[in-house]
Amino acid sequence: MSTRVIGRSLSLLFVLTFAPAFAADVALPSAEESRVMQVTQDACDAFLRGDVAAAAALLAPGFTLVDSRAKVQTRDEVLAEIRSGDPRYDVFRNHSMTARVFGNAAIVQGITSVKGRSGEQSFDVNVRFTDTLIREKGKWRLIVSHVTAIPD
């Protein structure tokens, strides 16, 4: 048997032996975790479209946002910003998300990529986010969002 065949056989044996162990460490999100991650993406979509009604439905009364400059914005301030059309987004997308659900509360973490314009300034940034959601009357809504800029 040639060295090449032995090498391929050992590679295949390694994959068949250890791949299931690696796959076991990567858990797929539960249905409820997927739902809360979708709520955070739906909020991104509302911001992207400038859809105040959709954002209002997703942001619970008492919602606060701690932005990348450590400024705290209330729900009303966030909705007013969407209503004003400034900033305007070309991209507003969550990715690399994980979620944990604790009864009627959930935490979603990930990265948000945003690109657009504010006034005459263009921006293209990634932020790491932590969103806290609450379930009221069967619906998940955002209650707190905190973002931190990811350095270039």
The CA distance from 53 to 93, in Å, is 19
Task: Give tens-digit pLDDT for 87-102.
Answer: 999 999 999 999 999 9
Task: Give tens-digit pLDDT for 46-61.
Answer: 999 999 999 999 999 9
Where residue 27 falls among pLDDT bands split at 50, 70, 90? Answer: confident
Q: Radius of gyration (Cα) for the chain, nearest Å?
A: 21
pLDDT of residue 26: 61
Percent of the chain with pLDDT over 90: 80
Where residue 5 falls among pLDDT bands split at 50, 70, 90? Answer: very low
Which distant-in-sequence residues (6+ apart) come within 8 Å of 136 by Cβ?
60, 104
**Structural domains of the chain in order of their starting residue, each with its CATH number:** 29-149 (3.10.450.50)
pLDDT of residue 152: 80
Give the CA distances from residue 116 to residues 46, 50, 51, in Å, rounded to whole numbers and listed in that order: 15, 12, 16
Query: Sheet of 59-66: strands edge to edge?
Result: 72-74, 59-66, 139-149, 121-136, 105-118, 88-102
pTM: 0.81
